[in-house]
């Protein structure tokens, strides 16, 4: 089993009101580079930013790393448009960062990115792949791609209160800027990504398509962003078996919508609850309050944890949080609750 993790950026994450507005949004472009360092080394190495919200909620990379420490699995990080350099080893497939989806073209080289990713996916000898993502702004670009495909679209958020109306307005603007109506890209999913997507989407989709073609079992490790990739694959006529593995935090927020989407796109759904409610640790409390929820392959990684080992993952997460500078006790300052819906400094996107 290998976790393949395309990492990239889109200027869409900088749009006011759906992202970490007000708390140094320019730091957010460091987040994927820091995430993959945490996944590889257990802490940021070259990154000047540690993706922890002001409330003490760490990036999901910390959870995925905790699982990796306990379970052990191979990782291949794909540079799918990183803006900032990273000290983590990455596979270069030649893509660049994405532009604001309100521009005419959001991912000009979407088809080329898909093709290179497809070749990579076919070449891997692994029996089974999980494919995750880290791209701030990714739930907004998921919403816009689903809309361009004409699919019913509900997307998650890394914030406890999902700014979904704001996202829908941005998506409306994005489609208009590309002269698209909802559903116009029904038969052309790569055109949907090119117009209103992000550069991680064609990379995830291409690796998945190539691996499926080679007979490799593929699990999309994530929430609503992976629903969008599944939609892209189905609209591309790929009907091989496909799974989605996500966290209970996404499933709780999405209610029946997630299962309905998985049924619609013929994806097996696995939801894993890491049992964070059993700990007083601030990081786990923040996840239970709805922050972060998913990302960096978190849900897929959690699905690998054998029965009886989840407590070890929580123990390990506490150790990693200490390294990331998060105090280990429960929240003892009630004022932090007031900013629970606030932006995350250098944190994950909308």
DSSP assigned state of 52: B
Stretch touching a copy of itself by CB under 8 A, among 43-51, 134-142, 238-246, 247-255 = 43-51
Residues 6 or more apart whose Cβ sits within 8 Å of residue 165: none
Q: What is the CA radius of gyration of the chain?
A: 18
Rank residues 93 and 171 by Cβ distance to a copy of itself and give the closer one.
93
Rank residues 45 and 238 by Cβ distance to a copy of itself and give the closer one.
45
Residues 6 or more apart whose Cβ sits within 8 Å of residue 261: 152, 154, 224, 227, 230
Least Å from the CB of residue 38 to a copy of itself: 11
Contact flag: residue 41 with a copy of itself (CB under 8 A): yes
Least Å from the CB of residue 175 to a copy of itself: 36
- Which among 248, 213, 222, 214 is positioned nearest to 4, based on CA atoms? 222
Rank residues 223 and 346 by Cβ distance to a copy of itself and give the closer one.
346
Number of amino acids touching a copy of itself (CB under 8 A): 25
Binding mask 297-326 for a copy of itself (x = CB under 8 A): --------------------------x---
**Residue 235 tokens, joined:** 């609209």
Q: Which residue from 90, 134, 162, 246 is in contact with a copy of itself, where contact means CB under 8 A?
A: 90
Rank residues 33 and 141 by Cβ distance to a copy of itself and give the closer one.
33
| CB distance 144 to 155 below 8 Å | no
DSSP 56-102: S-B-HHHHHHHHHHHH--EEEEEESS-SS--SS-EEE----PBPPTT
Q: How many CB atoms lie within 10 A of CB 330?
A: 11
CA distance linking residue 36 with residue 134, whole number of Å: 8
| CB distance 156 to 247 below 8 Å | no
Contact flag: residue 43 with a copy of itself (CB under 8 A): yes
Contact flag: residue 42 with a copy of itself (CB under 8 A): yes
The CA-CA-CA angle for residues 212, 217, 193, to 5°, reads 50
Contact flag: residue 126 with a copy of itself (CB under 8 A): yes
Binding to a copy of itself (CB under 8 A) within 145-184 occurs at: none
Least Å from the CB of residue 207 to a copy of itself: 11
Contact flag: residue 73 with a copy of itself (CB under 8 A): no
Q: Which residue from 16, 22, 48, 85 is in contact with a copy of itself, where contact means CB under 8 A?
A: 85
Rank residues 12 and 86 by Cβ distance to a copy of itself and give the closer one.
86
Rank residues 23 and 46 by Cβ distance to a copy of itself and give the closer one.
46
| CB distance 20 to 344 below 8 Å | yes
Contact flag: residue 289 with a copy of itself (CB under 8 A): no
Least Å from the CB of residue 118 to a copy of itself: 13
- The answer to whether the Cα torsion of 41, 43, 45, 46 is positive or negative is positive
Residues contributing to the site for a copy of itself (CB under 8 A): 40-43, 45-46, 72, 74-77, 85, 87-92, 119-120, 123-126, 323
């Amino acid at each position: 089993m290998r976790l393949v993790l395309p990492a990239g950026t889109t200027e869409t994450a900088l749009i006011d009101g759906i992202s970490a507005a007000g708390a140094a949004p320019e730091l957010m472009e460091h987040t994927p580079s820091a995430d993959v360092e945490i996944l590889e080394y257990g802490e940021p190495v070259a990154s000047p930013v540690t993706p922890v919200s002001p409330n003490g909620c760490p990036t999901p990379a910390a959870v995925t790393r905790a699982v990796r420490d306990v379970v052990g699995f191979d990782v291949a990080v794909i540079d799918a448009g990183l803006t900032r350099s990273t000290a983590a080893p990455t596979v270069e497939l030649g893509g660049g960062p994405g532009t604001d989806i309100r521009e005419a073209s959001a991912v000009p080289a979407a088809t080329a990115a898909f093709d290179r990713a497809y070749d990579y996916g076919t070449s891997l000898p692994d029996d089974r792949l999980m494919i995750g993502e880290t791209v701030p702004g990714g739930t907004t670009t998921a919403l816009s791609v689903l809309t361009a495909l004409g699919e019913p679209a509900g997307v998650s958020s890394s914030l406890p209160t999902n700014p979904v109306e704001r996202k829908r307005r941005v998506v409306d603007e994005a489609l208009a800027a590309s002269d698209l109506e909802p559903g116009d890209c029904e038969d052309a999913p790569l055109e949907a990504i090119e117009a209103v997507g992000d550069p991680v989407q064609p990379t995830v989709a291409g690796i998945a398509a190539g691996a499926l073609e080679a007979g490799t079992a593929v699990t999309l490790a994530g929430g609503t962003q992976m629903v969008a990739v599944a939609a892209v694959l189905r609209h591309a006529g790929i009907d091989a078996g496909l799974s989605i593995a996500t966290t209970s935090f996404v499933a709780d927020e999405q209610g029946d919508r997630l299962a309905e989407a998985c049924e619609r796109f013929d994806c097996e759904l696995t939801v894993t609850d890491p049992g964070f409610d059993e700990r007083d640790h601030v990081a786990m409390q923040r996840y239970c309050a709805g922050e972060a929820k998913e990302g960096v392959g978190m849900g897929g990684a959690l699905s690998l944890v054998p029965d009886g080992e989840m407590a070890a993952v929580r123990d390990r997460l506490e150790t990693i949080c200490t390294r990331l500078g998060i105090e280990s006790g429960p929240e003892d300052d009630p004022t932090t609750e007031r900013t629970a819906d606030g932006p995350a400094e250098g944190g994950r996107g909308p």
